[in-house]
Amino acid sequence: MKSKLLISHLCLFFLTLLPAFGSEPKHLMGHRFLTLNTMVRVNQIEVTRDTSHGEDESSVHTAAEAKTFREAIETAWPGARITWAFSWRALHDERESYKELRTLIVSYQKKFGDEITFIPGAYFANMYNTREQVNRDLHEGLKRVSELVGGGYRPRSVVAGFLSADNLRYLAEVEKIHVCQGNIWSQYAVDNGDGEGSIAYPYYPSREHFCKPARGKDDFIDCVNLDGWTVDFLSARIAGARIVNGERWRSRQGVGPIETLLDMGTERGSQAMLATTASHFDDGFKRNGFAWVTCGWEMSLVEARKIYGYGGRNGMEGLHIWLAETRKRWPDAHLVTQGEFGEIWRAHFKNNDDINYRFVHRGCGIRASEANKEIRWFMNNDFRLALERNWQDGTPEKVIDFTRYDLPAKEPADPEPGKHSRNWSLMNRLNQKQSRPQDQPILINELNAEEQTLIRKHYPELLEPVKK
């Protein structure tokens, strides 16, 4: 009897020593999820295997920075699991610093259950490479990751920034990977590529265009397409950035560190990050039955001040504040790898037929997130629709975005050798960026009869009943 009791106690003891991974929720609904990925690279934007743009970041991609970053996350959120994405150069650099860095990150996969994967083209693979070349990069990059980790390891997802429909289909059908961070919601006039036009939460992409949700079996790609950064819905209206009242309003303001902590400072930046998080974890959770916030925190930003300045800030204090406060406010939230979250979503949604995301966001008063503005988003496999109003003075809502997914769409052709194919956006009827003459906001009843009928099919409450 004593021996059985001793064995029982020992089993319980060893269970407490096991890492937290493997304890992820099995179901999507009723849960709040946070995903955090980071990119390990050599140059700022590695557009092909052997060409790059921007700064040489090798001096801030060392084991020391990785250790600082990972320990900051574990301190703020014990048991968190994150995703590390290696660029082609970072996977193959033979300098001792990169060998040491790769070894350390592999140890985090063993210790914490982190995901290690590949990123082709450093966010802009299709803007500089043919689809065929991107497939080669995916195949060989993923193979290298498996060799690096060993033990038959295989990533559950890929980080890509933007990825064409053909390449997403290749991932699903050939590489058997069914989750990809393959769009950056609302990105337009930022960095080296535009990909405006998708829905903000997960969806299965169409074979016509990566921003378009699949409509039917013949159009379906079995690879969950994920956003890269959760942004403030009001800030997202901007095309790139502009100066307003002496401050820089940026479209990517949300939970990303560049537009918040590094641009505004720790206190104001973390407030903006938490306001964006709350929009999803509070109101969004009630409307959608689950909530998801995601962030890409590039490893170069751990010591960004060494290369980019940023007023002497590196954002680590803000990272701790954001994660610790998020965990305090929403203690039931799960910080899991990108692959885990995508597979949980995929288990719940077998196609896009039942997607019906709704968001209502009032500005937090920081820069472009104007305190007197309210935006409502409606997203499904037929269209996305955004209505904006000044909630303080009671002016009528206006449609600022109506992107139809029931219309044909087509991605750009492969870029010619040495050329740049920048704009991969999906814009048709009305777009929030107001970058075209036809994008001026209108009242919803100013849409034509066909458009109103399509909206009424999903949201009859938005329109007056048809008079007989």
Segment 317-372, tens digit of pLDDT: 999 999 999 999 999 999 999 999 999 999 999 999 999 999 999 999 999 999 99
- Give me the pLDDT at residue 19, please: 39
Kindly report, residue by residue over 297-315, the tens digit of the pLDDT: 999 999 988 888 888 888 9
List the chain pLDDT tens, one digit each, 468 residues.
Answer: 444 444 433 333 333 333 344 456 889 999 999 999 999 999 999 999 999 999 999 999 999 999 999 999 999 999 999 999 999 999 999 999 999 999 999 999 999 999 999 999 989 999 999 999 999 999 999 999 999 999 999 999 999 999 999 999 999 999 999 999 999 999 999 999 999 999 999 999 999 999 999 999 999 999 999 999 999 999 999 999 999 999 999 999 999 999 999 999 999 999 999 999 999 999 999 999 999 999 999 999 999 888 888 888 889 999 999 999 999 999 999 999 999 999 999 999 999 999 999 999 999 999 999 999 999 999 999 999 999 999 999 899 999 999 999 999 999 999 999 899 999 999 999 999 999 999 999 999 999 999 999 999 999 999 977 555
| Strand extents, DSSP E, 169-257 | 179-183, 224-227, 241-244, 247-250
Question: Which residues does residue 442 pair with via DSSP β-bridges, in sequence order?
Answer: 399
Cα–Cα distance, 39 to 159 (Å, whole number)? 9
Distance, C-alpha 82 to centroid of its chain = 13
Cα–Cα distance, 427 to 405 (Å, whole number)? 10
Quick count: other Cβ atoms within 10 Å of Cβ 435? 15
- Give me the pLDDT at residue 467, please: 55
Nearest CA among 162, 169, 159 for reference residue 208: 169
* Number of DSSP helices (H) and strands (E) in the chain, helices first: 13, 16
Which DSSP state fits 379? Answer: E
The tokens 């990972």 sit on which residue? Answer: 70
H or E segment and range at residue 104: helix 96-112
- Give me the pLDDT at residue 23, please: 58
| Cβ-contact 426, 418 below 8 angstroms | no
- Give me the pLDDT at residue 26, please: 85
User: Which sign does the torsion angle of CA 203, 209, 212, 216 carry?
Assistant: negative
pTM for the whole structure: 0.94
Full set of structural domains in the chain with CATH: 32-348 (3.20.20.510), 357-462 (3.30.1120.110)
Residue 143: Cβ-neighbour burial (10 angstroms; 0-12, 13-18, 19+): middle
Kindly report, residue by residue over 253-274, the tens digit of the pLDDT: 999 999 999 999 999 999 999 9
- How is residue 216 written in tokens? 């039917």
H or E segment and range at residue 33: strand 32-40
Quick count: other Cβ atoms within 10 Å of Cβ 377? 22
- Give me the pLDDT at residue 466, please: 57
| Cβ-contact 32, 330 below 8 angstroms | yes
Amino acid at 37: N
| Cβ-contact 41, 61 below 8 angstroms | yes
Nearest CA among 351, 390, 101, 76 for reference residue 205: 351
User: Which sign does the torsion angle of CA 452, 458, 464, 465 carry?
Assistant: positive
Long-range interactions of 63-66: CB distance < 8 A, separation 24+:
63/97, 63/100, 63/101, 63/103, 63/104, 65/299, 65/302, 65/303, 66/40, 66/101, 66/104, 66/105, 66/108, 66/299, 66/302
Cα–Cα distance, 274 to 255 (Å, whole number)? 7
- How does strand 53-56 pair with strand 43-45? antiparallel
Residues 6+ apart with CB under 8 A from 152: 146
Quick count: other Cβ atoms within 10 Å of Cβ 193? 25
Distances (CA, A) of 434 to 135, 210, 222, 268, 430: 34, 22, 32, 28, 8
Quick count: other Cβ atoms within 10 Å of Cβ 244? 12
| Cβ-contact 415, 192 below 8 angstroms | no
∠367-372-375 over CA atoms, to 5°? 90
User: Residue length, the chain?
Assistant: 468
- How does strand 224-227 pair with strand 179-183? parallel
| Cβ-contact 167, 181 below 8 angstroms | no
Distances (CA, A) of 56 to 41, 42, 95, 232, 460: 9, 6, 14, 30, 54
- Give me the pLDDT at residue 309, please: 87
Nearest CA among 234, 299, 340, 241 for reference residue 98: 299
Nearest CA among 120, 218, 229 for reference residue 177: 120
